[in-house]
């Protein structure tokens, strides 16, 4: 049975906070905006246009600011870093025949260039486009599930912000909170990881059959301890 692990991008796979800060400070300077980066950062995870609306930016400026921000962000991609163990984790999921995808509020051009820069491969990438409402609406997740023909019970979304949790909840799929990212933890997050490599323990709890040991009728007790030792 096919499984799909969907990842948010910023704060989960990539640490892009420095890139965001540089880009936003350039916006502040060019457009004479007084909203500081700390104010901007509170809304990270939402589509960029939604962030601007939350900051009470004039509707007339949103399109121009979006284009300018994207331009500066692309010029400073060298400020974006891959989190530790991301490459290992993605490769290991692939080895286990688990499909991997991305659902992000970042625009399509910046998302694809970033993925290409770090030579990562995914089964599906769903970036923010005009055809999507965007997080917390579940349309991007639902698109990924439909495209890969994955049942909701066999999908998990990994995110670091409350908007990610709300998106997964609305899509009716499981959620894993990446505590090493940018958001803060809420009591209703059932599953959380401090390092992306720890995702395997959570996935075992969610999908007990995920590593298909039971074809040999091995008791779950032994499977778990083998699994835990192998991953850590």
Which letter does DSSP use for residue 184 in this model?
Answer: -
The pTM (predicted TM-score) of the whole model is 0.88
Angle at 43 between CA 88 and CA 165, to 5 degrees: 55
Q: Which residue has the tokens 């965007």?
A: 134
Question: What is the H or E stretch that residue 224 is in?
Answer: helix 220-231
Q: How far apart are CA 212 and CA 174, in angstroms?
A: 20
Partners of 6 in beta bridges: 101, 157
In 3D space, the residue among 191, 187, 139, 193 whose CA is nearest the CA of residue 167 turns out to be: 139
Q: What is the pLDDT of residue 131?
A: 96
Which residue ranges of the chain lie beneath pLDDT 70? 209-232
CB 161 within 8 A of CB 44: yes
In 3D space, the residue among 107, 157, 113 whose CA is nearest the CA of residue 132 turns out to be: 107
Residues 171, 13, 149, 46, CA torsion sign = positive
Instruction: Share the mean pLDDT of the chain.
Output: 90
Which letter does DSSP use for residue 217 in this model?
Answer: T
Cβ neighbours around 92 below 10 Å, total: 16
Q: What is the pLDDT of residue 208?
A: 72
In 3D space, the residue among 146, 144, 231 whose CA is nearest the CA of residue 196 turns out to be: 231
Q: What is the pLDDT of residue 226?
A: 45
Q: What is the pLDDT of residue 231?
A: 45
Q: What is the pLDDT of residue 210?
A: 47
| Per-residue pLDDT tens over the stretch 87-101 | 999 999 999 999 999
Q: What is the pLDDT of residue 207?
A: 83
Question: What is the H or E stretch that residue 70 is in?
Answer: helix 59-75
Q: How far apart are CA 15 and CA 200, in angstroms?
A: 21
């Amino acid at each position: 049975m096919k499984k799909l692990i969907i990842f948010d991008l910023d704060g989960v796979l990539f640490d892009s906070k420095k890139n965001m800060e540089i880009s936003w400070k350039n916006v502040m300077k060019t457009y004479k905006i007084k909203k500081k980066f700390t104010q901007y950062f509170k809304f990270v995870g939402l589509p960029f246009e939604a962030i601007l609306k939350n900051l009470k930016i004039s509707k007339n400026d949103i399109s121009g600011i979006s284009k300018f921000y994207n331009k500066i962000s692309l010029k400073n991609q060298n400020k974006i870093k891959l989190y530790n163990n991301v490459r290992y984790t993605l490769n290991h999921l692939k080895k286990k025949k688990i499909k991997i995808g991305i659902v992000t509020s970042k625009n399509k051009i910046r998302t694809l260039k970033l993925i290409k820069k770090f030579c990562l491969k995914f089964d599906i990438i769903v970036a923010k486009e005009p055809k999507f409402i965007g997080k917390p609406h579940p349309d991007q997740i639902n698109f990924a599930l439909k495209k890969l023909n994955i049942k909701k019970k066999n999908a998990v979304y990994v995110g670091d912000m409350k908007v990610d949790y709300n998106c997964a909840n609305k899509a009716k799929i499981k959620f894993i909170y990446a505590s090493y990212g940018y958001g803060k933890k809420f009591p209703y997050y059932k599953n959380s990881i401090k390092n992306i490599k720890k995702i395997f323990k959570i996935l075992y709890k969610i999908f007990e059959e995920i590593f298909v040991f039971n074809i040999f009728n091995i008791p779950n007790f032994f499977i778990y301890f083998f699994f835990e030792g192998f991953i850590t």
